[in-house]
Each structure stands twice: as C-alpha cells, then as structure tokens.
Amino acid sequence: MIQKIKKIIPLVELGMLIGVITFLLTLLTTTLLQNNGISMGEVIMLPLIGGFYLFLTIIIVNIIGINKVRKLDIKKTEQPLKKLYQVLIVILISILIYTILDSIYFLFDNSLSKDYASSLEDLLQSSGEKTDDIKDFEMLPFSVQNIFSSIFSAIIAGLISLPFIKKDGEIFKSKNDNYYK
C-alpha cells in the first residue's frame, strides 16, 4: 500500500503544478480582458480560456513529467503504474486544484463571475431567451461556471498525451544509444 502511495505522490505534484499554472494563466488573461471591458466576442471565448490553458499544460507536463516519473520508477527497479492511471490521476488533481484556487480567489473577488454572467444575460436577452437563472449562475466561481469545458479539454489532452508517454520513460531514443555503452 505504501509503495502505491509513493508512486502516486509525484503524479499528485504534477497535477498540482498543472492546476496552479492553469489558474495563474486564466487569472492573468481574464483580468486583462476584464480591465479592457469584455466584448460579446470575448464573452463567447471566456469559457474556452481555462480549458485551453488546461489542455496545453496537461499535454506538456504529462509528456515530460510522467515520462520522468516512469523512468525513475524503472531506475528504482519498480513497476510503474499503468499509463492510463497516471494520466487520470494527473487530470483529476489538476482540475481539482484549478477549481479550488479559483474558488478561493472568488471569495475575495467575484467580479469576473458577475461580469461574465451579466454579459451572458445581455446576450440571452438580445436573443429573447429567459434569464431567470443568471443570478444563481453569477454566484459560482468562474472555473465552476465553465467546468464542462475544462473537463472536456483535460480528457482530450490526456488522450493526446497518452501515446507520448513511453513504457520505459524515454521520450527520444536514437539508434546509437547502445553504441556508447
């Protein structure tokens, strides 16, 4: 049991790194957009921002980080966890950390959620839709408002990164690797 926990710790750290990077990039981008006034085009793109950053960081960190973890496990003569399990652990932790950090930030500054919800309300009113639930929607942190796009992006990124995670942790191998041994 302790061996499995030791194998999971580096994956949790990778997930935390992805969550923090995604939160900071999303915060920076949305703050810049918010300071310039959010246009209708930006309102349409806002749900994709967190998902986009999550997508990029998961692919990059998974390919580099999980391969390093696998390589270290092999050096310790331990059997690494299955690639799919490693990717799922990293994805779950990264989404969790991103959502927690955004929720904490929401406690101090909820203006983005309110601006996003009011822009959506304007968009819905202009198309003649009902806007009764917008007041409830603005009471949610931005990451929770867009959780489905984040989860979808994370799953796609995980699937894309899977083939690049090698069994032995070696991303690049040359034909001459055995020449120098």
Give the domain ranges of the chain: 2-164
Q: What is the mean pLDDT of each run of 10 residues along the chain (181 residues)?
A: 82 95 92 77 80 93 90 82 92 96 92 80 78 80 89 94 82 57 46
The per-residue pLDDT for 50 is 87
Q: What do you get for the CA distance between the two ends of the chain, in Å?
A: 36
Burial tier of 135 (Cβ tally within 10 Å: 0-12, 13-18, 19+): exposed
pLDDT of residue 159: 94
Position 140, amino acid: L
Q: Residue 173 has what pLDDT?
A: 65
What is residue 43's predicted lDDT score, i.e. its pLDDT?
A: 72
Q: Which two tokens stand for residue 157?
A: 């990124």
Helix (H, G, I), strand (E, B) or coil at 136: helix
Tokens of 40: 């209708």
And the tokens for 48?
């994709």
Q: Running DSSP on this structure, what letter comes out for residue 168?
A: T
